[in-house]
């Protein structure tokens, strides 16, 4: 199926005309605000994703390709030397857009948008000149955002498979198993991860629903020895822990024989997980909660975690997802445990540097 992407310039045009949906607009504005390039691209990826779902011009283009009913703008196509298709906004303001299919044939792009009257008066010349000069894209930024968008869709599919496996494990325990091992998707980056799940108190027929919101259970995730990398483990911690319990204060990391996470959840939450089953995992994103304190950590790990959105272990031992620093959250206190351990962390850092002066 042909996918149709907007260019960043088209998003800019629709934004100025107040034609973007609320969530597309929010991500586009966030991309405009941040100075860090990787963060900017991340917001644009989500803006592209929402625009594909929400914006009328892109919806009309997608349906047109599916049905084989797209209108070829013959005069513009002839002058531009490439097929240019006209798409329409079917609701609200009367807008038109121009869609092309680049030589790679992989996807189509909405490269131009304007009001109906201007599209037909000045649009053809602007489209032809833009295509000839290369100004209408897709630009290198557009191509990068598309590539990351495709990777994001694949990651979401993989994450849903993992969370479905978590639900399966809880269901096995609910029908009598003492514990269960999460089955990781084959041929994925998580295939070597071995995680054992247990629950100290599972809901049953005698559970009183009226007390379920206050009655707590502990879900224990034990990461058994395997060839799983630190990065893989941190990604799984962010994903699974965020799914089961978004409040980080209810999650404790332990080093027993293996790395272990104890997650406090209410019986009501377990009921919900078992009742809704895999429907709950659809579209889930492990968005970290806003930080309440700032943690210390090794800079290399923090940078990687910040860019990739994975969990990292702070100096105090807690696993967290860094989503800001003293500049973005000037009002937050530093974790008291991290602050107490800072000299130790600095000593370790100095030791590493002395052992490897080039680092």
pTM of the model: 0.64
- Nearest alpha-carbon partner for 95 in 26, 28, 32, 16: 16
CB contact burial 141-177 (16+ within 10 A = b; e otherwise): bbbebbebbeebeeeeebbbbbbbbbbebbeebbeee
- Give the pLDDT of residue 291: 66
- Nearest alpha-carbon partner for 264 in 279, 249, 254, 277: 249
Instruction: Name the phi and psi angles at 35, rounded to 5.
Output: -100, -25
CB contact burial 48-75 (16+ within 10 A = b; e otherwise): bbbbbeebbbbbbbbebbeeeebeebee
Q: How far is CA 344 from CA 129, 255, 293, 348, in A?
A: 62, 19, 20, 6
pLDDT(12) > 80: yes
pLDDT(201) > 60: yes
Q: What is the pLDDT averaged over residues 101-128?
A: 87
| pLDDT tens-digit map of 152-165 | 888 888 888 888 88
- 34 class by beta-carbon count within 10 Å (0-12 exposed, 13-18 middle, 19+ buried): middle
| pLDDT tens-digit map of 41-81 | 999 999 999 999 899 999 999 999 888 888 999 989 998 88
Answer with the residue of higher pLDDT: 29 or 156.
29
Determine the 3-state secondary structure of 174 from DSSP.
Answer: helix
Determine the 3-state secondary structure of 183 from DSSP.
Answer: coil
- Give the pLDDT of residue 348: 47
| pLDDT tens-digit map of 284-327 | 555 555 667 777 766 555 555 554 555 666 777 666 666 554 44
Determine the 3-state secondary structure of 284 from DSSP.
Answer: coil
- Give the pLDDT of residue 146: 92
Q: What percent of the chain has pLDDT over 70?
A: 75
């Amino acid at each position: 199926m042909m996918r149709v992407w907007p260019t960043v310039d088209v998003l800019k045009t629709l934004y100025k005309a107040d034609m973007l949906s609320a969530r597309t607009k929010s991500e586009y504005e966030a991309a405009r605000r941040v100075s860090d390039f990787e963060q900017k691209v991340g917001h644009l990826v989500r803006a592209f994703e929402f625009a594909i779902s929400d914006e009328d011009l892109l919806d009309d283009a997608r349906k047109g390709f599916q049905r084989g009913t797209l209108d070829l703008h013959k005069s513009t196509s002839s002058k531009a030397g490439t097929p240019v298709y006209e798409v329409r906004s079917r609701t609200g303001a009367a807008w038109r857009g121009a869609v092309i299919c680049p030589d790679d044939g992989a996807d189509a792009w909405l490269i131009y948008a304007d009001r109906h009257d201007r599209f037909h008066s000045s649009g053809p010349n602007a489209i032809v000149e833009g295509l000839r000069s290369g100004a209408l894209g897709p630009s290198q930024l557009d191509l990068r955002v598309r590539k990351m968008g495709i990777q994001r869709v694949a990651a979401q599919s993989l994450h849903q498979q993992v969370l479905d496996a978590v639900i399966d494990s809880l269901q096995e325990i609910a029908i009598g198993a003492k514990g269960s091992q999460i089955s990781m998707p084959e041929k994925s980056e998580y295939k070597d991860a071995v995680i054992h799940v247990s629950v100290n108190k599972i809901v049953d027929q005698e559970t009183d629903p009226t007390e379920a919101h206050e009655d707590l259970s502990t879900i224990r995730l034990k990461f058994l020895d395997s060839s799983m990398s630190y990065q893989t483990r941190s990604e799984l911690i962010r994903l699974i822990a965020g799914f089961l319990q978004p409040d980080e204060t209810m999650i404790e990391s332990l080093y027993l024989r293996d790395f272990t996470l104890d997650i406090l959840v209410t019986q009501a939450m377990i009921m919900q997980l078992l009742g809704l089953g895999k429907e709950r995992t659809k579209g889930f994103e492990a968005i970290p909660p806003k930080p309440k304190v700032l943690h210390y950590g090794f800079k290399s790990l923090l940078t990687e975690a910040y860019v990739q959105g994975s969990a990292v272990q702070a100096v105090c031992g807690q696993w967290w997802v860094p989503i800001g620093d003293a500049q973005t959250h000037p009002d937050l206190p530093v974790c008291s445990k991290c602050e107490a351990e800072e000299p130790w962390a600095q000593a370790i850092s100095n030791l590493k540097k002395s052992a490897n002066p080039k680092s």
